[in-house]
């Protein structure tokens, strides 16, 4: 039995057994030896790139072990090696990623090392873009709360990530909805070479408190202090008390990456000063003084870690290389190879304009798909959207299925990505296409890349509805056509209807598609285009052309608004004998 020598740092008071705190030490040693081997392999020229986690072990192991690994989700960042090991990623799986092998569970070698994804443990995939993970965590937590499922969602980053607007949008959203998110910021004092004194103004915890979020700043090198803070935050979140923000102060002992030379911006004296705060050494001292670790036991732990690391590295290095770097860009690729030769038969149904058809489609989709959720600015009743496309949805299906968001486009799309990961079919609305660009990273770097970068481990069944184009006297910032930006993005499908029937059928097909779809709605046609609209679950296949007229004189290819006017022009030309 431990004597609990330190009243501030006592594992028994935290509900941890003697064996549990020894396991903490084993995991931290294993993580350090994994990191050491990664650097050795890089110096030997056997792997091209390394992201180090040394000196972060206290913050990461303490946080991971405070979670319920049966129900909780995680949204880590690239320095979270020890966090992943403590969650349950095996050393061999880690080395498979380092060597970019086919069996790499994060990406099958598609991403750089340490870009984690592990669906079996609900570890959501992340990219190299700083800060985009915060809205994902908010969206996952929203869907867990909406569906009444248990689970807390920790999301991690370095202190440099707190300068990104995505963090503040996520803080605001999680505070508004009291979501079970734990923001864990590992302040290691540097953003590559930029010291925190030049990149972080004020107190990080105070920033979170300004949103009404419970926040604290702790010593990230003391694993028991981290465990206690995260355990308390998780308990609050499970009780419905909302998010928490934890700044864990630590240090990045090695360079930012293997391509960085930290001697250019850090003095040996500074590094040595932090070396004395090694989290493993601090825990070892605690265990020895608590009579929980003998010299012989310490040697066994080191030997076991060394042999585990050596075996894992050897097995991973011999594993098969990836065989197809171009596969899995889409979950459902569009392969329509057959030419359309017959005129499209006119649909049957009552006449309606395009915006009415879209509203009808949304009502039917929400009724047929309980996992469908509509979110965006002004989409909820009583307004029901600035163009009335979402009117009646909140009244019919509830405030948790059609709800307003803050005016924050990156948050809208990023949270929808998280909701999709947790099982929803989100239909996000960006009010005007002209204002979609703050969400460019979330659309292009996140939603469109997710299936590919996770080697099919995650899909993103997300629809982003966007009123777009001119024709409504909207001037410069309410008239732009944005399809040229997005139609060239691998992994993203772009859909533009030209008739009310197509709008209804394409929208349902988009919602039922496993890939992200940008659904651009021509504002000019909202009330101008009228025609029969089929009732019931009408579908129009994505990626197929429609033949509206035939003739021998002229070929006109168009989409959206210009398709509507092209048909009208063809009618006039026919009257003049031109087909």
Residue 565 has pLDDT above 50, yes or no: yes
DSSP state letter for 118: B
Q: Using one digit for the tens of pLDDT, what is the confidence trace for 256-279?
A: 999 999 999 999 999 999 999 999
Q: What pLDDT, on the 0 to 100 scale, is given for residue 3?
A: 41
Rounded to whole angstroms, how far apart are CA atoms 325 and 457?
Answer: 15
Q: Using one digit for the tens of pLDDT, what is the confidence trace for 411-454?
A: 999 999 999 999 999 999 999 999 999 999 999 999 999 999 99
Residue 380 has pLDDT above 80, yes or no: yes
**What Å distances lie between residue 93 and 113, 313, 377, CA to CA?**
11, 9, 42
Whether the upstream peptide bond of residue 66 has omega within 30° of 0, thus cis, is no
Q: Using one digit for the tens of pLDDT, what is the confidence trace for 287-327?
A: 999 999 999 999 999 999 999 999 999 999 999 999 999 99
Contacts of 131 by beta carbon, 8 Å cutoff, 6+ apart: 157, 161, 163, 164, 165, 166, 167
Res. 344 pLDDT band, cuts 50 70 90: confident
The active-site residue out of 9, 92, 377, 409 is 409
Residue 50 has pLDDT above 60, yes or no: yes
What is the rounded average pLDDT of the residues 44-56? 96
Query: Is residue 471 within 8 Å of residue 561, measured between CB atoms?
Result: yes
Q: What's the mean pLDDT when you consider all of the chain?
A: 96
Please provide the DSSP assignment of 425-453 as one string: EEEEE-S-GGG-GGGHIIIIIIITTHHHH
488 is catalytic: no
409 is catalytic: yes
Residue 373 has pLDDT above 70, yes or no: yes
- Please write down the HEC assignment for all residues of 369-395: CCCEEEEECCCCCCCCCCCCCCCCHHH
Residue 53 has pLDDT above 60, yes or no: yes
Query: Is residue 197 within 8 Å of residue 222, measured between CB atoms?
Result: no
What is the rounded average pLDDT of the residues 360-375? 98
Q: What pLDDT, on the 0 to 100 scale, is given for residue 78?
A: 97
The active-site residue out of 11, 56, 478, 538 is 478
Residue 73 has pLDDT above 50, yes or no: yes
What is the rounded average pLDDT of the residues 132-148? 98
**What Å distances lie between residue 242 and 163, 167, 210, 453, CA to CA?**
22, 16, 14, 31
Query: Is residue 365 within 8 Å of residue 355, measured between CB atoms?
Result: no
Rounded to whole angstroms, how far apart are CA atoms 257 and 535?
Answer: 58
Q: What pLDDT, on the 0 to 100 scale, is given for residue 340?
A: 86
Residue 512 has pLDDT above 80, yes or no: yes
Residue 7 has pLDDT above 50, yes or no: no
Residue 493 bridge partners (DSSP): 517
DSSP helix, strand, coil percent of the chain (3-state; round to 5): 40, 10, 45
What is the rounded average pLDDT of the residues 238-257? 97
Rounded to whole angstroms, how far apart are CA atoms 579 and 577?
Answer: 6
Q: Where do we find the tokens 């020890």?
A: 82
Percent of the chain at pLDDT > 90 equals: 95
Q: What pLDDT, on the 0 to 100 scale, is given for residue 2?
A: 45
Query: Is residue 385 within 8 Å of residue 429, measured between CB atoms?
Result: yes
Q: Where do we find the tokens 């909820």?
A: 380
Query: Is residue 65 within 8 Å of residue 227, measured between CB atoms?
Result: yes
What is the rounded average pLDDT of the residues 37-59? 97
Residue 206 has pLDDT above 70, yes or no: yes
Q: Using one digit for the tens of pLDDT, what is the confidence trace for 382-420?
A: 999 999 999 999 999 999 999 999 999 999 999 999 999
Q: Which H or E run contains 560? A: helix 560-575
Residue 42 has pLDDT above 50, yes or no: yes
């Amino acid at each position: 039995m431990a004597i609990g020598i330190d009243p501030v740092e006592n594992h028994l008071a935290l509900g941890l057994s003697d064996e549990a705190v020894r396991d903490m030490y084993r995991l931290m040693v294993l993580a350090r030896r994994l990191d050491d081997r990664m650097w050795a392999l890089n110096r030997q020229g056997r792997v091209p790139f390394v992201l180090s986690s040394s000196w972060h072990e206290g913050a990461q192991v303490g946080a991971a072990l405070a979670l319920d690994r049966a129900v909780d989700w995680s949204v880590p960042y690239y320095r979270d090696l020890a966090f992943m090991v403590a969650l349950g990623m095996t050393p061999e799986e880690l080395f498979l990623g380092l060597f970019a092998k086919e069996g790499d569970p994060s990406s099958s070698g598609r991403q750089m090392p340490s870009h984690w994804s592990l669906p079996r443990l609900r570890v959501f995939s992340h990219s190299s873009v700083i800060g985009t993970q915060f809205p994902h965590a908010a969206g996952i937590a929203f869907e867990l709360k909406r569906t009444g499922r248990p689970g807390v969602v920790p999301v991690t980053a370095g202190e440099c990530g707190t300068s990104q607007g995505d963090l503040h949008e996520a803080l605001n959203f999680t505070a508004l909805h009291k979501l079970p998110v734990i923001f864990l910021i590992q302040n290691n004092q540097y953003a590559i070479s930029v010291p925190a004194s030049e990149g972080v103004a004020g107190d990080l915890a105070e920033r979170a408190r300004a949103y009404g979020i419970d926040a604290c700043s702790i010593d990230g090198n003391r694993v028991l202090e981290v465990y206690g803070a995260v355990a308390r935050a998780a308990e609050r979140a499970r009780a419905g008390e909302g998010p928490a923000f934890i700044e864990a102060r630590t240090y990045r002992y090695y360079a930012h990456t293997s391509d960085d030379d930290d001697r250019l911006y850090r003095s040996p004296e500074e590094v040595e000063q932090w070396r004395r705060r090694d989290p493993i050494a601090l825990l070892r001292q605690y265990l020895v003084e608590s009579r929980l670790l003998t010299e012989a036991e310490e040697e066994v732990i080191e030997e076991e870690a060394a042999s585990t690391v050596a075996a894992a590295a050897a097995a991973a290095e011999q594993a098969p290389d990836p065989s197809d770097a171009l596969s899995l860009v889409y979950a459902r690729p569009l392969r329509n190879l057959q030419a359309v030769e017959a005129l499209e038969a006119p649909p049957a149904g009552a006449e309606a304009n395009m915006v009415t058809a879209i509203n009808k489609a949304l009502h039917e989709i929400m009724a047929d798909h309980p996992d469908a959720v509509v979110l965006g600015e002004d989409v909820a009743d009583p307004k029901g959207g600035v163009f009335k496309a979402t009117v009646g949805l909140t009244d019919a299906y509830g405030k948790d299925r059609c709800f307003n968001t803050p005016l924050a486009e990156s948050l809208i799309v990023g949270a929808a990505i998280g909701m999709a990961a947790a099982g929803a079919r989100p239909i996000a609305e960006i009010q005007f296409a002209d204002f979609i660009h703050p969400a460019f990273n979330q659309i292009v770097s996140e939603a469109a890349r997710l299936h590919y970068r996770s080697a099919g481990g995650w899909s993103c069944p997300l629809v982003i509805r966007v009123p777009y184009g001119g024709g409504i006297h909207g001037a410069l910032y309410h008239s732009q056509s944005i399809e040229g930006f997005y139609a060239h993005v691998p992994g993203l499908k772009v859909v533009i209807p030209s008739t009310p029937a197509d709008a209804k059928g394409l929208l349902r097909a988009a919602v039922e598609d496993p890939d992200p779809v940008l659904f651009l709605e021509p504002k000019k046609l909202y009330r101008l285009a009228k025609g029969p609209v089929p009732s019931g679950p009408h579908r129009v296949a994505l990626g197929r052309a429609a033949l509206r007229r035939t003739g021998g004189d002229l070929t006109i290819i168009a989409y959206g608004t210009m398709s509507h006017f092209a048909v009208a022009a063809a009618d006039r030309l026919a009257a003049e004998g031109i087909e």
